[in-house]
Amino acid sequence: MRNVSHSVNIFEQAGHQASEEVLVPAERALRLQVNGELAAVVMRQPGDDVELAIGYCLTEGLLADNMQLLSARHCDEEANSVDVLVAGSPVIQPRWVGTDCIDAEQMLGELPPALAADPGVTWLSRQLPAMPPQFRDHQKQHKQSGGVHGAALFDRDGKLVVLREDIGRHNAVDKVVGYSVLHELMLNNMALMVSGRASASMVIKAVRARIPLLATMSNTTSLGWELADRLGLTLITYLRGNSFRLCTHVFRIREALP
């Protein structure tokens, strides 16, 4: 169940009061096991749990690459638990992951290698303003209840590939990354767009997944900007209307020839 219905009192101007049924996004704990060992308890909005589990493993370094994934499935006896089987023996340190919380000390102590500068992976500047309308059009949960974040992948033509939503910003990113793994999509020529700010943890997740471009309709943080520059990620902020801010590694954005 992705949403929960509640009865509330609505107060308006001039003292008008009414009772309405409203939807709020559900928040439940997902137990993630890797090779039979507890890896994380992730607070999330139920749905797309296998994608979330795979994406979490990849963006948090429990999977070095897609080829290490052997299987991922819900536990037979528990809908709020996913088992992931991977090749090798990853170092597992169980974590509790809130919907807007990342272990900063661990995050900055395990930075991924920088992205390669592939001159063939670029976007036309005129393609970028077409991304937010596609993003908004596919935010079904946001339209129903609000209170959720979104993340989406776009191809090099600026066309939407997949969008996922969750009460946690990081969960939404993990879901689209998990989707790409399950559908054998290459992430090294796609752009990731998020509804929230491009924080340092978002930058690191994008780089770990080998995504070369991160865009947001909001702002970044100082550390997010610094890490994007350091790790070879093209960072775009305030992508709204017909304008945007191009922060780092500008070579991936080009103008159309006259």
Residue in 252, 169, 185, 181 with CA at minimum distance from that of residue 218: 169
**226: how many CB neighbours lie within 10 A of its CB?**
14
101 tagged catalytic: yes
**Strand bridging mode 149-154 / 69-75:** unpaired
Separation CA 44–CA 59 (nearest Å)? 16
Give me the catalytic one of 57, 75, 101, 247.
101
Q: Answer yes or no: are the C-beta atoms of 44 and 27 closer than 8 Å.
A: yes
Burial of 21 (0-12, 13-18, 19+ CB in 10 A): exposed
Separation CA 137–CA 183 (nearest Å)? 22
- DSSP states along 151-180: EEEE-TTS-EEEEEEESSHHHHHHHHHHHH
Buried b (16+ CB within 10 A) or exposed e, 55-77: bbbbbbebbeeeeebeebeeeee
Structure tokens at 99: 């919907």
What does the CA dihedral 109, 200, 48, 158 come to, rounded to 10 degrees? -130
Q: What residues are annotated to the active site? A: 101
